[in-house]
Structure 1
């Protein structure tokens, strides 16, 4: 991807361009660092937060695009160049994070009442966020502690990567007579049978299928225990990582890693507030789980030929859930070929129509310049507002490739940020000098040739976003468009929810633009979009058969969702317990010399689970890879699920009477929540959006209230 180099006066190979970009950026950043560290007057300190935000933006211009390219670009040489550029700038950024000069200057600015009074809400928010970032880097401590912080951080990174990359079971395969696997697809079974014995790999998808299909209970028990028991090495690696995190927190002056991670960039703020949310949600969810367990016990009793009272075992759950779902599917009266109604082009058209109805913005295809995109499949869309004109650029890389990550993702290649007149003049004076690229206009020079907007007398760099999915297309079927199944369509809506947050939250400062908000708030817009894609009035905007042009019979969607959500309360119970486990693992408990990650997990299952707990001897936590990436914030997705359900019901009336397409409702969401990014307290955003004053101050009571709403509830309470 090369928008930043499309206007170089001297052509450069892209792999060289990345390295030049990194060097230029570090040179510019160094001048900003010098300016900030030399600040001495009140006037100097008044501009300090914007200078630091510009410094952050300069570094992110390289880091964000390099991170994206090294993951997505099909050319290995360009991936390597992007990695080198990323490492170079990341190392420079770490040097800044461990230097006291910038932190001390920010502290002086924050301590000056005249300076604080001159800053608006957005500037004050960014100043406090930056101060917390410095604090989390142990910058306030003596040098030997800062050095220890860097060493421990590096060890955590290495151990975490090792944990995720090398998770392994204690038993690599289950070997039993093939006669024990009745119910498994014979074609699947045949591939694993040798001399009458079936060898089932523990970590393979076939083991998951076998748990759902194999009739013999003892065989399912053996599979279940094997797939729920990680190796001693995996568990030891996890526990070592958790102890190092506790050590890192202690170096920074926190009693636990959870308290350190939650206290600034999370709505919850404290582990106690997270526990209030999770316990309230667990209580709300428990009656629904009990009803689902009753159905499972009934199904097992019928299979055993007894009237009632069968005991449900852990290895029964998936089997009887699948049995009930299979029976539900067999009763369907409609054709299940939903994908015929979801061609990729019509889904994108539907998203554009939805956004136009709600927010007055459209997705307009635009031809890309030579070298602007990284693969022929990539399509560029310009985001056009009815009132503000061109407001964002969106690149869509949606099709499967062998060399591409299969994980759907939203990348912000460049954030919104206001570009000052002085900055424009400064970069124009440097244009083409000292190895710098030569651009045609001052605005191009200030934004590396990428797009800007000019509204109300200010210049802003436009959000530039990339959406990546792995949809398959049959290139041999020339007359057939790419068709999405329902959940691929839902995935696209979800990722577009992130994009719309980046598009609408065009803040003046980069640190709080778009999705750069509280971590447990960031999934709310995307999760909310999953409600829209299930709404009949929204589907009516675009879902038509690609051959006949007949509209989608909504009953097909309703039946599919009914089957899929049949045991959602049980699935949610598991997520709640894992979120509780994440909190326990990042509490001060880890520092106890008798810390036992297995016993903590089993105890949580017994205490908060209605479903049968794992048997003694299992150690599933050794497969819980999200513990590395989330680190005490795993509750966030559950939290945003509850919030999105509430917003859907309160703001959009659950989709009744066309409320999902009502412009007034869209403006309510945009003006109170989406447009602020991370520049306003998310509790205030929620309070204003839901018109619920109980939320405005946040805290444990607000977290408990959110948990009590549950995922499925009415408007009372």
Structure 2
């Protein structure tokens, strides 16, 4: 029997063959349709239980199967899986439309929703009903038949295009390599990066060294390599993913996606895609988002311009560089940082052995939230690199399974993310616990050294682990409101707030120990990490704001129909945030996976939005003590465990006692006086 169609607790990775996916998804769709039919054919009057709850419980088998399939399509893909993804995505899009455009089902949902004021519902039940009704109304339930048909066509096309976009970016990443045979070309590169490059060459049966566009290879080269010409070659290759005249060009796809999203929004009665998306976010409207981004821009730009001028002068003084280019940014920033703070990233790395950092984040989770992590080998993995853990509380109660996948591979897309194989929910009186995963692309161990992380990689691990905590500590009744199923501009709060512990002496002492001597990181290094935390924060802020503004330009404008050149449109969107000269061969939009493949369209601003929340939240921890049990309990009870059961601002105020203030962020960033 197909292993995906059997009842399983954890994903049966080792038993699944690629041929199993399509029949399993087909059968699970058929099963979900039967579950919907049971609700529709119920002759009793629609009630919260027989309609709202029943609908929330449908499609669970399908959810489990597709979570396995699409997670592997991101973390361990191949041509066959990509081919299957192209076939099944339209099926799933069609199935979602079959539900939201089902008149009989919507009639029952609406009947319950219309009684909302007379029903004695808890806040969570009220949220479920409201979200369910809007899920129909906002996705075409009130359209006429002709428009419903049009909506189906648009959704099918969009699902195909976003997959294609991601495949092209992955192919462009995998297809580039810089093969170096002269060791002089590696001057400036740390030994660990050289060793990694040599190992890559060896794996590809080549002499010398190989540098790729995967972050653990790309970033050290851009940061340390003295050879400016090779930095340029690598930087230009990175920036032209999806923007070359080849089969992986994404320009037409970007234009198609934005036009279809706009058309879809108009069809549903919204002015733009951003208006549609933001209606259900904390920010509510494109105007509020643009005000938020432009307000921060106004505060950050003077600092960014000062920092850029300093960096330009420094590069001129050091190497007589007349014009600072994008491929100079990381290189001279690192040199200047080292000079100003006597802080060398390479000096820090021996203190951040991957295994120690993992144990450190586990210890912090224990002190804050009473969680214990035990590595196990009793559940299936999809790759030998994956680590698996059983998570329990201090009383021995099972909390979650946790998967962690840390190193790059050809079948894995770049970046870092958290995902889930099973959501928490209370079903038939049983609190079903979640299965959560984080996927990263950290420096691999070499023949002579373990995996030693840069400080940026440390903060990335903490960030993704913060998302994982949101998933693990979920404690809601309904699966659709559980864990990270929250407003997109609230979802980054748990991840970003946890990054703050990386800068605290009390936390660093738990895990920052030299991998050879066991010596705890010297206090002078800790002070320098804290001092340098706001180094070039103006430029960093400007960069983040530029991405948010580009996203809003694509999705909040009057009409994308008139756009003919992706590059020209992007240049216009970047005009107020531009510091470096433009690179003609480069275009960001064609590999901006967050908004064209992930779920961040009209939502990239949420990273900055959540920074305001996280700085304000962490200020509370600092006031009371970074391991203060009462503050941690409040954060767990009102944020981590509550998922999307209530409006995010209400949950935040219950934790903090007040609305967030952006001053904490601006102080932390050094943009206003402390």
Please give the TM-score of this superposition, normalised by the length of structure 2: 0.79
Matches within 5 A, 1:296-445: 296-299=311-314, 302=317, 315-316=324-325, 319=328, 322-323=331-332, 325-329=334-338, 332=342, 336-369=346-379, 372-387=380-395, 389-420=397-428
Change (3 A) 1:79 1:561: farther
**Aligned-pair CA distance for 1:508:** 0.6
Change (3 A) 1:474 1:419: same
Tell me, yes or no, if structure 1 residue 513 matches structure 2 residue 482.
Answer: yes
> For structure 1, which segment, 159-168 or 79-88, has the greater mean C-alpha deviation from structure 2 after superposition?
79-88
- Structure 2 unaligned runs (5+)? 177-183, 195-200, 202-210
Change (3 A) 1:213 1:603: farther
Matches within 5 A, 1:56-95: 56-72=59-75, 91-95=94-98
Which among 676, 686, 696 is matched to residue 642 of structure 2?
676
Q: Is the 8 A contact 1:62 1:89 kept in 2?
A: no
**Whole-Å Cα distance in 1 between the matches of residues 475 and 318 of structure 2?**
59
Residue of structure 2 equivalent to 1:248:
264
Taking CA–CA contacts closer than 8 Å with sequence separation of 6 or more, which of the two structures ends up with the larger relative contact order? Answer: 1
Q: Partner of 1:460: helix, strand, or coil? A: strand
Q: Is the 8 A contact 1:496 1:526 kept in 2?
A: yes
Change (3 A) 1:244 1:212: farther
> For structure 1, which segment, 630-639 or 564-573, has the greater mean C-alpha deviation from structure 2 after superposition?
564-573
Residue of structure 1 equivalent to 2:206:
none
1:418-461 C-alpha deviation (Å, 9 max, x unpaired): 112xxxxxxxxxxxxxxxxxxxxxxxxxxxxxxxxxxxxx3111
Tell me, yes or no, if structure 1 residue 109 matches structure 2 residue 112.
Answer: yes
**Whole-Å Cα distance in 1 between the matches of residues 664 and 290 of structure 2?**
10
Which among 609, 613, 619 is matched to residue 649 of structure 1?
619
1:205-234 C-alpha deviation (Å, 9 max, x unpaired): 699949996779xx989x989968956975
Q: Is the 8 A contact 2:94 2:152 kept in 1?
A: no
**Whole-Å Cα distance in 2 between the matches of residues 378 and 160 of structure 1?**
27
1:113-165 C-alpha deviation (Å, 9 max, x unpaired): 47x52332112212222222223332211111111112122333444455555
**Whole-Å Cα distance in 1 between the matches of residues 356 and 158 of structure 2?**
45
Change (3 A) 1:616 1:555: same
**Whole-Å Cα distance in 1 between the matches of residues 391 and 384 of structure 2?**
21
Q: Is the 8 A contact 2:32 2:58 kept in 1?
A: yes
**Aligned-pair CA distance for 1:516:** 0.8
Q: Partner of 1:267: helix, strand, or coil? A: coil
1:7-66 C-alpha deviation (Å, 9 max, x unpaired): 99xxx9533776775466445434431232134545744442211110153431222123
Residue of structure 2 equivalent to 1:272:
287
Q: Partner of 1:660: helix, strand, or coil? A: coil
**Whole-Å Cα distance in 2 between the matches of residues 320 and 14 of structure 1?**
45
Larger Cα-atom Rg: 1
Q: Partner of 1:501: helix, strand, or coil? A: helix
The count of aligned residue pairs is: 629
Q: Is the 8 A contact 2:86 2:160 kept in 1?
A: no
**Whole-Å Cα distance in 2 between the matches of residues 510 and 26 of structure 1?**
18
Change (3 A) 1:613 1:82: closer
Q: Is the 8 A contact 1:211 1:220 kept in 2?
A: no
**Whole-Å Cα distance in 1 between the matches of residues 571 and 539 of structure 2?**
17
Change (3 A) 1:141 1:405: same
**Whole-Å Cα distance in 1 between the matches of residues 396 and 345 of structure 2?**
44
Q: Partner of 1:494: helix, strand, or coil? A: helix
1:381-439 C-alpha deviation (Å, 9 max, x unpaired): 2211235711211123334545444543322111111112xxxxxxxxxxxxxxxxxxx
**Aligned-pair CA distance for 1:365:** 2.8
Matches within 5 A, 1:683-702: 683-693=649-659
Residue of structure 2 equivalent to 1:55:
58
Please give the TM-score of this superposition, normalised by the length of structure 1: 0.74
Residue of structure 2 equivalent to 1:698:
none
1:525-567 C-alpha deviation (Å, 9 max, x unpaired): 1112211123221121222233332212243355467668532
**Whole-Å Cα distance in 2 between the matches of residues 639 and 341 of structure 1?**
32
**Whole-Å Cα distance in 2 between the matches of residues 595 and 69 of structure 1?**
35
Residue of structure 2 equivalent to 1:431:
none
**Whole-Å Cα distance in 2 between the matches of residues 267 and 122 of structure 1?**
18
**Whole-Å Cα distance in 1 between the matches of residues 81 and 251 of structure 2?**
37
Change (3 A) 1:562 1:587: same
Change (3 A) 1:257 1:711: farther
Tell me, yes or no, if structure 1 residue 148 matches structure 2 residue 157.
Answer: no
Which among 628, 631, 656 is matched to residue 662 of structure 1?
628
Change (3 A) 1:615 1:86: closer
Change (3 A) 1:552 1:359: same
**Whole-Å Cα distance in 1 between the matches of residues 673 and 653 of structure 2?**
16
Tell me, yes or no, if structure 1 residue 490 matches structure 2 residue 499.
Answer: no
**Aligned-pair CA distance for 1:682:** 0.6
- Structure 1 unaligned runs (5+)? 174-181, 192-199, 421-457, 696-701
Tell me, yes or no, if structure 1 residue 504 matches structure 2 residue 473.
Answer: yes
Q: Is the 8 A contact 1:259 1:270 kept in 2?
A: yes
Q: Is the 8 A contact 2:484 2:644 kept in 1?
A: yes
Residue of structure 1 equivalent to 2:208:
none
